[in-house]
């Protein structure tokens, strides 16, 4: 299995992985430098994973398949992967010692480490990002979302939202709840969020979506001329919710960025098409990491 297919496998697993267009420019300048540094460290030693048990939120890939892909990609000998149905559950497994490492995005890992200083992270991928996923039959809606994302990038608004809700979020403070205001628009788009990529996709303890996801969707609502209603659900339920039309859009899916190999991008898109799904332009750049105890 070549590296582009391995990265695609991790991305398609949807693991925050709980993880796309050239919008690294929409992030703070230091993010680009971090990605460059990660590229230079591509041949890092991951033997510390040998014989270890990992965890992460539920994925459509089997635990065994994900373990094999990680071992092939990293040259490691991971013993076992155990899924949980949420990031909170996976984190509890790590902290209790039932798992030795956890899969996460760098953004989520930073958020968790700020609140759990006994943890650390190690990057194992780059050139990935978050996009929204829709049914293939909703191409017009996808096009309108793409247009909105493009406008938010060009205006600098996307970078402002990232700065406010991610980089400048005070340490130890959870995201507040901005408002998606109801309007007189005749059409409503139902967007599923899971809270499994905090603080990018965050759901508060009371079950209410908060922070970046709400702020971004509020801006998109204005640009596409449609109401947006946010629907909390688990990552495990997202594909079923799309298929059953309980939701029209799921807020995040991890995939290779357009700076990744063309083969990886094409494989990713082809796999989505076989599931009758399509994706938007990416709205945030991320890398995948292992979250570990110090």
**Does 49 have pLDDT greater than 50?**
yes
**Helical ranges in the chain per DSSP H:** 3-12, 29-40, 63-74, 87-96, 106-115, 139-155, 157-162, 212-224, 238-243, 262-274
CATH number at 128-285:
3.40.190
The whole-number pLDDT of residue 137 equals 94
* pLDDT, tens digit, 9 for 90 and up, residues 208-239: 899 899 999 999 999 999 999 999 998 888 88
Taking Cα atoms as reference points, which of 133, 131, 230 lies closest to residue 177? 230
The pLDDT assigned to 14 comes to 41
Q: CA 290 to CA 131: how far, in whole Å? A: 21
CA distance 73 to 65: 12
CA 199 to chain centre: 10
Domain map (residue ranges) of the chain: 3-126, 128-285
Task: List the structure tokens of 259.
Answer: 């700076």
């Amino acid at each position: 299995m070549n590296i582009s297919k391995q990265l695609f496998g991790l991305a398609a697993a949807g693991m925050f992985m709980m993880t796309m267009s050239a919008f690294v420019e929409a992030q703070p300048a230091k993010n680009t430098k971090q990605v460059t540094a990660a590229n230079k460290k591509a041949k890092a030693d991951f033997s510390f994973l040998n014989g270890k048990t990992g965890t992460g939120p539920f994925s459509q890939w089997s635990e065994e398949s994900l373990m094999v892909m990680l071992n092939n990609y990293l040259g490691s000998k991971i013993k076992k992967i155990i899924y949980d149905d949420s990031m909170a559950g996976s984190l509890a497994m790590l902290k209790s010692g039932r798992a030795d490492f956890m899969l996460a995005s760098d953004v989520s890992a930073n958020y968790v480490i700020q609140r759990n200083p006994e943890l650390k992270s190690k990057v194992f991928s780059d050139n990935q990002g978050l996009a929204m996923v829709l049914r293939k039959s909703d191409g017009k809606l996808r096009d309108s979302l793409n247009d909105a994302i493009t406008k938010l990038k060009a205006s600098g608004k996307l970078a402002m939202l990232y700065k406010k809700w991610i980089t400048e979020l005070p340490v130890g403070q959870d995201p507040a709840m901005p408002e998606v205001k109801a309007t007189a628009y005749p059409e409503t788009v139902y967007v599923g969020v899971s809270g499994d990529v905090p603080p990018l996709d965050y759901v508060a303890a009371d079950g209410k979506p908060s922070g970046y996801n709400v702020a971004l969707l509020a801006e998109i609502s204005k640009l596409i001329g449609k109401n947006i209603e946010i629907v909390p659900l688990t990552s495990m339920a997202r594909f079923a919710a799309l298929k059953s039309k309980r939701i029209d859009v799921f807020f995040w899916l991890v995939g290779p960025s357009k700076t990744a190999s063309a083969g990886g991008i094409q494989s990713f898109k082809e796999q989505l098409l076989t599931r009758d799904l399509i994706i938007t332009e990416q709205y945030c750049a991320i890398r995948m990491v292992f979250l570990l105890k110090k």
